[in-house]
Chains A and B, each alone.
Chain A
Amino acid sequence: MCWSRRSISARSVLALGKVHLPSQRRLIQLYAALLYNAHARGFIQGEIYTGPMKAVCVPGLNCYSCPGAVGACPLGSFQNALATSGKRAPHYVLGILLLFGIILGRTICGFLCPIGLLQELLHKIPVPKIKKSRLTKALSYLKYIILIVFVVLIPLWYGLKDYPLPAFCKYICPAGTLQGAAALLAHPDNAGLFSMLGALFANKVLILVAILVLCMFLYRAFCRFLCPLGAIYGLFARVAIVGVRVDKSACVHCGKCVRNCQMDVRYVGDHECIQCGECMKECPTKAISIKAGKITLHGNEEKPPKKKRAAAWVAALLVLVIVLAAAHIPTEEKIDVAVGSEVGMRAQDFTVQCYDGGVYASGGQLGRVQVINFWATWCGPCVKELPYFDALQKAYPDEVSVVAIHSELVTEDVEAYLAGYDYQIPFALDADGSVIASFDGSMMLPQTVVLDENGVIVYNQIGSLTYEALEEIVLSCLEGEK
């Protein structure tokens, strides 16, 4: 591995007053990052966007749990689609990835990925740089292994066991930690999330920090070695419509483009090439250009006329304004958060229809400790902890009343799902979301609420629970009443 020191030259320091404008590519990257995260209100309120635009995947890596995200992450959606492929084939996400790949390929990495932008900005920090070598070239194949194992095999394997597990998102993805966790935890209203921090979060933060630090020394370290989305788009390198092309008649085979490229390319436009077009500046015969089919998008010709540039700017701004406006359209008012969702307050009475035909009325359960679990079939941690609630009910059949209420967002036949299990607890559906809203919940699952014999809330938290923790809460409630 070779090191090079890039220090700030005296000339650049003395060139004060000369404005260093960002390149066109940088502007496009910033624009894309802004477009993907146009829900600015989310950062102010500490809530994620829940509008219909989120059904559309953005091309680049952008966590959908970011408060600003207005679209879905293609990688997260792909893993979740594979995890539920036993019930429904992942046609939609496959089609989206295919469309992005065939049209743009890894141009997405070079121009439209916020994580790529972050890495490039970090690489500008003046520290010694690690040059590419045979080792980095070999390491570049690691992302294909991550793609196969964490993005495909693990979600598929667990999906067949009815346990949705987006393994890459859960164990590796730095975008989730940075855009999702950091942005949400930074808001004071989400202070309750701190109680959910554990070993998983610590591991993810370590990975994030390691990647960010590595990016300062190694150009686009995450893209080159770890990003499975780049691996997917790299498969379309030979057929993508938009990309960097070499004019063979003008090329003198000097090899400057490949030598000076900071990615581990073997030739211009291969699966490692992020189609950024930086090699265009290196080519002595101007043989390289960015093309869409036969149309040259960016070559070495003179700048396009002012009218064309102005039209492009206007179109881009118009799209941004439309997305910003759409992301901030007021949504329907949900039921006001009931006074009494806090610990120590009396819970609002509710009645829900159970799947076995019965009715669960919280008011009718006074005199027993009530344990209310909000869950969903598409929520992995929820599914994992259901047996604990069932076991609790079996252990305390007279003292405790447990009910599992499914979120209003139903993606499959819940009854058919439950038929595969032998649970004793009643399962109900929160048809309009009013029940969970009355406990100040909506966006995150699982949520568990424990009411004492008088219907007063003693526990109301988001997050998974072990059987021991659950039993401890219930026992403290029972002992307190004695």
Chain B
Amino acid sequence: MGHPHFTIKSKHAIFYYSLIENNLSRDKIGLQAMRQALAGLCAKAARDIIEAHFLPCRAGRILLVKMLKNCRRTCRDAQQNIPYREREMSSRSRNILRGVMIALAAVLIGLGIANGGLWDVLVKAINICTECIGLG
């Protein structure tokens, strides 16, 4: 059985790190590399990658959680690096909603024309609104 290991991908490099049981405190170089890698990722992305690997070594998991917390503290904009909304509604739901809203808009406009709303808008628009221009 091989040593537990995991791979961290940053945008610049891939770090392959292998944990030796009971020897974690000596492996400082690897720890630094992993810190750098995690700092380049947002907290969620780093967590996703870590959770993808099975880590039987409890000490290794504790270590990674600590490093993740450090990463969050030092990288203030880490959470803002995702420039789009993560939880988007599905394309189908969005299209249905759009269709419904367009239909509703058309119905409202039709009703408005029928009940004289159009006329109200016209009457107000063709007379100078003394309040709007600050003349009281």
Contact = CB atoms under 8 A, between A and B. Distances in A.
Interface in B41-55: 41-42, 45
A266 B80 contact: yes
A54 B117 contact: no
Nearest to B44: A253
A173 interface: yes
A180 B124 contact: no
Contacts of B112: 90-95
Interface in A399-451: 407, 409, 411, 443-445
A215 interface: no
Given A49-B126, A50-B126, A255-B82, 19 more contacts: A55-B119, A65-B132, A84-B120, A88-B120, A92-B108, A92-B109, A98-B105, A169-B131, A180-B128, A200-B136, A238-B94, A239-B97, A253-B11, A268-B84, A270-B85, A379-B127, A381-B131, A381-B136, A444-B130
B134 interface: yes
B111 interface: yes
A88 B132 contact: no
B121 interface: yes
Interface in A193-252: 193, 196-198, 200-201, 203-205, 238-239, 241, 246, 248, 251-252
Contacts of B82: 253, 255, 267
Interface in A452-478: 462-464
Interface centre among A65, A254, A259, A443 (most CB of B within 10 A): A65
24 contacts: A54-B121, A63-B133, A76-B129, A77-B121, A81-B120, A84-B120, A89-B111, A92-B111, A92-B118, A95-B107, A95-B112, A99-B109, A169-B131, A176-B132, A184-B128, A193-B135, A197-B134, A201-B135, A252-B11, A258-B80, A378-B124, A381-B130, A444-B128, A445-B130
B106 interface: yes
A462 B83 CA distance: 54
Contact of A91 (B80, B115, B126, B134): B115
A52 interface: yes
B81 interface: yes
Interface string B63-80: 000000000000001001
B129 A166 contact: yes
Contact of A94 (B102, B108, B128): B108
A48 B123 CA distance: 13
A48 B84 CA distance: 44
B1 interface: no
Contact of A72 (B41, B106, B121, B133): B121
Contact of B108 (A76, A91, A267): A91
Nearest to A199: B136
A72 B127 CA distance: 11
B131 A91 contact: no
Interface in A130-184: 165-166, 169-170, 173, 176-177, 180-181, 184
Name the prevailing secondary structure of the B interface residues.
Answer: helix
B3 interface: no
A246 B84 CA distance: 7
B101 interface: yes
A95 B108 contact: yes
Closest 10 CB pairs of A and B: A92-B112, A95-B108, A92-B117, A95-B109, A180-B133, A91-B112, A204-B134, A181-B133, A201-B134, A176-B132
A381 B127 CA distance: 13
B120 A254 contact: no
Contacts of A84: 120
Contacts of A445: 127, 130
Nearest to A237: B85
Most buried by B among A95, A96, A180, A270: A95
Contacts of B119: 55, 411
Given A253-B42, A257-B83, A57 B121 contact: yes
Contacts of B14: none
A80 interface: yes
Given A72-B124, A251-B83, A239 B108 contact: no
A464 B124 contact: no
Interface residues of A, number: 84
A253 B81 contact: yes
Nearest to B88: A238
Given A50-B126, A64-B129, A169-B129, A205 B120 contact: no
Contact of B89 (A51, A238, A259, A268): A238
A400 B124 CA distance: 32
Contacts of B13: none
Interface string A249-288: 0011111011100000011111000000001000000000
Contacts of B125: 54-55, 64, 69, 71-73, 76-77
Given A80-B124, A88-B116, A91-B115, A177 B108 contact: no
A204 B132 CA distance: 9
Given A201-B134, A246-B84, A409 B127 contact: yes
B85 A411 contact: no
Nearest to B45: A253
A343 interface: no
A257 B83 CA distance: 7
A279 B41 CA distance: 21
Contact of A170 (B101, B109, B113, B131): B131
A93 B121 contact: yes
B62 interface: no
Contacts of A239: 94, 97-98, 101
B24 interface: no
